[in-house]
Homo-oligomer: A and B are copies of this chain.
Amino acid sequence: MFVPRDLQTAARAVAVFVTVALTTTVALAQSDPLPSWNDTAPKAAIVEFVGKVTKDGTPDFVPEAERIAVFDNDGTLWIEHPMYVQLAFALDRVKAEAQNHPEWKTTQPFQAVLEGDMKALAAAGEKGLVELIMATHAGMTVDEFHKTVTDWIATARDPRFKKPYTELVYQPMLELLSYLRANGFKTFIVSGGGIEMMRPWTDRVYGVPPEQVVGSSIKTEFQMKDGVPTLFRLPQVNFIDDKAGKPVGINEHIGRRPIAAFGNSDGDLEMLQWTTMAPGARFGLIVHHTDAEREYAYDRNTEFGRLDKAVDAAAVNNWTVVDMKNDWKQIFPEK
């Protein structure tokens, strides 16, 4: 192939000029990448870590391909209080499907849901919960389930804030996701929630595509139905991506050890340990819900008490603990 030398030289010269011009413009444009974070310790720790691992030629430098960051979802990226969003979905699905299941009127835990009897629902315990999940999450194709989730997430509203759940995501965490990606990180969700409950909307809301979502799952089966290939969701647990399951899910899906992990509860303890207790620069962060006014205050020394082990471990392992009330300027995105 022949390219005139003049054209090559010209193109190279223009490219250099443009690079300089654009770099200048970008530098001028570079403002605070984390505007919803107060200038307290967590923000400084994040910026310091990102600066360290992206500075070529230093001992802490991490090649771009290995900059893996993992985020819990419930309580870390979006609201989880007073009820997991996925449970709200399951309860709504029971109500929507009740007409096709007359037996639910007199069978627990469905009766409790239909009658709004939260006490009876609580009494059904974990076994009841699994029954609810299987009845509402299985028995359809993956495509059908995605459509149901997409329709629900567009219309359901949080009872206190009267907003779609996808608007009750944490603005500081959205900025953090973008900031990490702008610095060459690949961002993954690693949630105890259902993987197919998240995939229909995580790209739009978080910029995290379906192939970067790890979560709990039920079994699926490939079936040819009247010559049409389908993936059918079966009422059997496949994988629980919580606690000690999180490092397992990370390894199965990502096959690399993350260098940064973000969580909010004891369910994230092992993920934080797996991510940070290794050589090289590592970063762990826990979102501590301390803001009863703008969101909720819970998780330590409350009836929930789900953050005890992780906060104790944070002190030992030098993880950053975000005090929502003091460290976040803004909680939810403005419309």
Contacts and interface: CB of A to CB of B under 8 A. Distances in A.
Interface of A: 1-3, 7-8, 10-11, 14-15, 17-18, 21-22, 24-25, 28-29, 31, 65, 68, 142, 186, 195-196, 199, 203, 209-213, 217, 220-222, 224, 227-229, 231, 238, 244-248, 251-256, 270, 273-274, 277-278
Number of copies of this kind of chain in the complex: 2
Contacts of A11: 18, 21-22, 25
A126 to B, nearest CB: 21
A227 B31 CA distance: 41
Contacts of A1: 28-29, 31
Nearest to A198: B255
A244 B221 contact: yes
Nearest to A250: B231
Contacts of A253: 211, 253
Contact of A224 (B3, B196, B273): B273
Contact of A231 (B10, B25, B142, B247): B247
A210 to B, nearest CB: 3
Q: Which of A24, A203, A222, A231 has the most CB of B within 10 A?
A: A222
Contacts of A17: 14
B3 A28 contact: yes
A200 to B, nearest CB: 9
Contacts of A212: 211
A91 to B, nearest CB: 25
A136 to B, nearest CB: 19
Given A221-B244, A248-B231, A270-B229, A209 B65 contact: yes
Contact of A255 (B7, B22, B31, B211): B211
Contact of A274 (B229, B244, B245, B256): B229
A322 B29 CA distance: 52
Nearest to A68: B211
A318 to B, nearest CB: 15
A8 B21 CA distance: 9
B3 A29 contact: yes
A-B pairs with lowest CB-CB distance, top 9: A210-B255, A222-B244, A222-B247, A11-B21, A229-B273, A211-B254, A199-B255, A229-B274, A14-B18
Contacts of A245: 222
